[in-house]
Structure 1
Amino acid sequence: MTNRLLLTLLGLLLGSTAMALSRPAEILITQKNREFSVREASIAAGGRLLFSNDDDFPHQISASGPGVAISSPLQRPGEMLSILLPQAGTVQIRCGIHPRMRLTVQVD
Protein backbone atom coordinates (compact mmCIF):
# COMPACT_ATOMS: atom_id res chain seq x y z
CA MET A 1 0.00 0.00 0.00
CA THR A 2 2.77 2.45 0.91
CA ASN A 3 4.76 1.58 -2.23
CA ARG A 4 1.70 2.22 -4.42
CA LEU A 5 1.19 5.65 -2.82
CA LEU A 6 4.87 6.49 -3.24
CA LEU A 7 4.79 5.45 -6.92
CA THR A 8 1.62 7.48 -7.51
CA LEU A 9 3.17 10.58 -5.95
CA LEU A 10 6.38 10.08 -7.89
CA GLY A 11 4.40 9.72 -11.12
CA LEU A 12 2.48 12.92 -10.42
CA LEU A 13 5.68 14.79 -9.64
CA LEU A 14 7.43 13.56 -12.79
CA GLY A 15 4.36 14.29 -14.88
CA SER A 16 4.20 17.88 -13.61
CA THR A 17 7.89 18.37 -14.26
CA ALA A 18 7.56 16.96 -17.77
CA MET A 19 4.62 19.28 -18.50
CA ALA A 20 6.59 22.31 -17.30
CA LEU A 21 9.61 21.29 -19.37
CA SER A 22 7.49 20.72 -22.47
CA ARG A 23 6.68 24.44 -22.79
CA PRO A 24 8.89 25.99 -25.48
CA ALA A 25 11.45 28.61 -24.53
CA GLU A 26 11.08 30.40 -27.87
CA ILE A 27 8.25 30.76 -30.37
CA LEU A 28 8.47 32.26 -33.86
CA ILE A 29 5.36 34.19 -34.84
CA THR A 30 5.02 35.51 -38.36
CA GLN A 31 2.98 38.52 -39.38
CA LYS A 32 1.42 38.12 -42.81
CA ASN A 33 -1.76 39.51 -44.42
CA ARG A 34 -2.42 41.63 -41.32
CA GLU A 35 -2.56 38.53 -39.09
CA PHE A 36 -0.34 36.80 -36.56
CA SER A 37 0.42 33.18 -37.52
CA VAL A 38 -1.31 32.08 -34.28
CA ARG A 39 -4.01 33.61 -32.06
CA GLU A 40 -2.97 31.73 -28.89
CA ALA A 41 0.32 30.36 -27.62
CA SER A 42 1.87 28.87 -24.47
CA ILE A 43 5.47 29.42 -23.45
CA ALA A 44 7.72 28.86 -20.45
CA ALA A 45 8.40 31.82 -18.14
CA GLY A 46 11.65 33.44 -19.24
CA GLY A 47 10.92 32.50 -22.86
CA ARG A 48 11.00 34.74 -25.91
CA LEU A 49 8.54 35.49 -28.66
CA LEU A 50 10.12 36.27 -32.01
CA PHE A 51 8.00 38.31 -34.40
CA SER A 52 8.91 38.19 -38.08
CA ASN A 53 7.29 40.82 -40.30
CA ASP A 54 6.57 38.89 -43.50
CA ASP A 55 4.20 41.57 -44.82
CA ASP A 56 4.96 44.31 -47.35
CA PHE A 57 4.15 47.04 -44.82
CA PRO A 58 5.13 47.89 -41.22
CA HIS A 59 3.67 46.61 -37.97
CA GLN A 60 3.98 47.81 -34.37
CA ILE A 61 3.84 45.34 -31.47
CA SER A 62 2.24 46.21 -28.13
CA ALA A 63 2.43 43.66 -25.31
CA SER A 64 1.04 43.87 -21.78
CA GLY A 65 0.96 41.39 -18.93
CA PRO A 66 2.95 40.32 -15.85
CA GLY A 67 6.45 41.78 -16.20
CA VAL A 68 5.76 43.04 -19.74
CA ALA A 69 4.75 46.50 -20.95
CA ILE A 70 6.10 47.02 -24.46
CA SER A 71 5.24 49.31 -27.31
CA SER A 72 7.77 48.55 -30.03
CA PRO A 73 9.07 50.97 -32.61
CA LEU A 74 7.81 50.50 -36.16
CA GLN A 75 8.73 47.04 -37.40
CA ARG A 76 9.50 47.29 -41.10
CA PRO A 77 9.01 44.44 -43.60
CA GLY A 78 11.65 41.74 -43.15
CA GLU A 79 12.56 42.84 -39.61
CA MET A 80 12.52 40.58 -36.57
CA LEU A 81 11.44 41.65 -33.07
CA SER A 82 12.10 39.72 -29.84
CA ILE A 83 10.05 40.03 -26.64
CA LEU A 84 11.11 38.44 -23.34
CA LEU A 85 8.31 37.08 -21.12
CA PRO A 86 9.85 36.87 -17.63
CA GLN A 87 6.83 36.02 -15.45
CA ALA A 88 3.94 33.58 -15.43
CA GLY A 89 0.54 34.92 -16.41
CA THR A 90 -1.43 35.98 -19.46
CA VAL A 91 0.11 38.41 -21.94
CA GLN A 92 -2.01 40.27 -24.49
CA ILE A 93 -0.32 41.25 -27.74
CA ARG A 94 -1.63 43.33 -30.61
CA CYS A 95 -0.46 45.39 -33.53
CA GLY A 96 -0.82 49.11 -32.87
CA ILE A 97 -1.40 49.75 -36.58
CA HIS A 98 -3.80 46.87 -37.32
CA PRO A 99 -6.16 46.47 -34.31
CA ARG A 100 -7.63 43.14 -35.46
CA MET A 101 -4.19 41.54 -35.04
CA ARG A 102 -4.42 40.02 -31.55
CA LEU A 103 -2.55 37.28 -29.75
CA THR A 104 -2.96 35.83 -26.24
CA VAL A 105 0.06 34.13 -24.71
CA GLN A 106 -0.12 31.96 -21.59
CA VAL A 107 3.22 32.08 -19.77
CA ASP A 108 3.81 29.19 -17.31
Structure 2
Amino acid sequence: MSAKCLDQQGRWRNKVVAFRMSPEEDELLETAVRLSGLTKQEYIIRRLQEKEVVVTGNPRVYKALKNELAKVLNELRRLKKGENVSEDLLEVIQLITVTMDGMKDE
Protein backbone atom coordinates (compact mmCIF):
# COMPACT_ATOMS: atom_id res chain seq x y z
CA MET A 1 0.00 0.00 0.00
CA SER A 2 1.27 3.48 -0.81
CA ALA A 3 2.24 6.04 1.79
CA LYS A 4 -0.44 8.29 3.26
CA CYS A 5 -0.44 11.77 1.84
CA LEU A 6 -1.86 15.12 2.97
CA ASP A 7 -3.03 17.77 0.50
CA GLN A 8 -2.50 21.53 0.89
CA GLN A 9 -5.52 21.84 3.17
CA GLY A 10 -4.31 19.06 5.46
CA ARG A 11 -6.78 16.48 4.15
CA TRP A 12 -5.78 12.85 3.76
CA ARG A 13 -5.61 11.69 0.18
CA ASN A 14 -6.56 8.07 0.62
CA LYS A 15 -9.09 7.58 -2.20
CA VAL A 16 -7.99 6.08 -5.50
CA VAL A 17 -9.64 7.13 -8.76
CA ALA A 18 -8.81 5.21 -11.91
CA PHE A 19 -9.98 5.42 -15.51
CA ARG A 20 -9.03 4.10 -18.93
CA MET A 21 -7.48 6.12 -21.74
CA SER A 22 -6.35 5.40 -25.25
CA PRO A 23 -2.59 5.53 -25.91
CA GLU A 24 -3.11 8.80 -27.80
CA GLU A 25 -5.05 10.36 -24.92
CA ASP A 26 -2.38 9.16 -22.51
CA GLU A 27 0.37 10.80 -24.58
CA LEU A 28 -1.54 14.10 -24.61
CA LEU A 29 -2.02 13.91 -20.85
CA GLU A 30 1.66 13.10 -20.29
CA THR A 31 2.65 16.06 -22.48
CA ALA A 32 0.37 18.43 -20.59
CA VAL A 33 1.72 17.19 -17.26
CA ARG A 34 5.35 17.59 -18.38
CA LEU A 35 4.71 21.12 -19.62
CA SER A 36 2.87 22.12 -16.43
CA GLY A 37 5.70 21.17 -14.08
CA LEU A 38 3.14 19.57 -11.73
CA THR A 39 2.75 15.97 -10.71
CA LYS A 40 0.21 14.02 -12.72
CA GLN A 41 -2.04 13.76 -9.66
CA GLU A 42 -1.95 17.49 -8.98
CA TYR A 43 -2.50 18.34 -12.66
CA ILE A 44 -5.53 16.05 -12.96
CA ILE A 45 -7.07 17.31 -9.71
CA ARG A 46 -6.67 20.95 -10.76
CA ARG A 47 -8.17 20.31 -14.18
CA LEU A 48 -11.12 18.35 -12.76
CA GLN A 49 -11.85 21.11 -10.28
CA GLU A 50 -11.55 23.67 -13.10
CA LYS A 51 -8.77 25.47 -11.26
CA GLU A 52 -6.16 27.40 -13.18
CA VAL A 53 -2.96 25.49 -13.92
CA VAL A 54 -0.15 27.99 -13.39
CA VAL A 55 3.17 27.02 -14.94
CA THR A 56 6.22 28.28 -13.13
CA GLY A 57 9.34 28.32 -15.24
CA ASN A 58 12.01 25.99 -13.91
CA PRO A 59 14.68 23.81 -15.53
CA ARG A 60 12.30 20.82 -15.73
CA VAL A 61 9.65 22.85 -17.57
CA TYR A 62 12.20 24.40 -19.94
CA LYS A 63 13.59 20.96 -20.75
CA ALA A 64 10.06 19.63 -21.36
CA LEU A 65 9.34 22.56 -23.68
CA LYS A 66 12.56 21.94 -25.61
CA ASN A 67 11.82 18.22 -25.96
CA GLU A 68 8.20 18.76 -27.00
CA LEU A 69 9.21 21.36 -29.59
CA ALA A 70 11.74 18.87 -31.00
CA LYS A 71 8.99 16.21 -31.23
CA VAL A 72 6.67 18.66 -33.00
CA LEU A 73 9.41 19.62 -35.46
CA ASN A 74 10.16 15.96 -36.22
CA GLU A 75 6.46 15.24 -36.76
CA LEU A 76 6.07 18.25 -39.06
CA ARG A 77 9.11 17.17 -41.06
CA ARG A 78 7.68 13.65 -41.32
CA LEU A 79 4.42 14.85 -42.84
CA LYS A 80 4.21 14.63 -46.59
CA LYS A 81 3.39 17.70 -48.62
CA GLY A 82 -0.34 18.34 -48.60
CA GLU A 83 -0.96 15.93 -45.69
CA ASN A 84 -3.12 17.31 -42.90
CA VAL A 85 -1.74 17.87 -39.41
CA SER A 86 -3.42 15.65 -36.80
CA GLU A 87 -5.69 17.14 -34.14
CA ASP A 88 -3.40 15.73 -31.43
CA LEU A 89 -0.38 17.55 -32.86
CA LEU A 90 -2.34 20.78 -33.12
CA GLU A 91 -3.39 20.38 -29.49
CA VAL A 92 0.24 19.92 -28.41
CA ILE A 93 1.28 23.00 -30.40
CA GLN A 94 -1.49 25.02 -28.76
CA LEU A 95 -0.44 23.79 -25.30
CA ILE A 96 3.19 24.76 -25.96
CA THR A 97 2.10 28.19 -27.22
CA VAL A 98 -0.07 28.87 -24.17
CA THR A 99 2.71 27.72 -21.84
CA MET A 100 5.32 29.92 -23.52
CA ASP A 101 2.97 32.93 -23.62
CA GLY A 102 2.35 32.58 -19.90
CA MET A 103 6.06 32.29 -19.16
CA LYS A 104 6.78 35.39 -21.26
CA ASP A 105 4.85 37.47 -18.70
CA GLU A 106 7.12 36.36 -15.84
Q: What's the TM-score once normalised by structure 2's chain length?
A: 0.20
Q: What's the TM-score once normalised by structure 1's chain length?
A: 0.20
Q: Which has the larger radius of gyration?
A: 1
Per residue, is there more strand in 1 or in 2? 1
